[in-house]
Structure 1
Amino acid sequence: MKQLLEKWECFNDLCGHSFLVDKETAKGKHLTCPFCEQNAEAVAHQNPDADLETQLEGCLYPY
């Protein structure tokens, strides 16, 4: 199964960080910002037909 990513953003105006999460890992979960622990929401997701290696060019990987 192909790993798909979602971009999540923090609700806290003083933080405003964003982070990537595996779509299956986040499915059905309430995630908080790893930087300030406030509420976060998914704002974008990866196209399942996209080529992740080409898009990221080997420099960015979720953990």
Structure 2
Amino acid sequence: GLVAAIPLLLFHAKLAATTGQIVASLEMASLKAVNVISDFNKRHFEAEAESVDEHRQVSIK
């Protein structure tokens, strides 16, 4: 039993470590994607707000 158990235990440890690295990599990639989308939306919203402010100033004059 130990002849099979010990190599499988080592294989499991290696597989678990590799899986952890892959999950961490995917989490980092998804966080970067969310940040890019968030920054784009923030810039778009700020530019739109400036456009509305400029339009209001022109309308007041």
Superposition TM-score, scaled by structure 2 size: 0.18
* Greater per-residue helix proportion: 2
Radius of gyration: which is bigger?
2
* Greater per-residue strand proportion: 1
The structure whose RCO (Cα within 8 Å, separation 6+) is larger is: 1
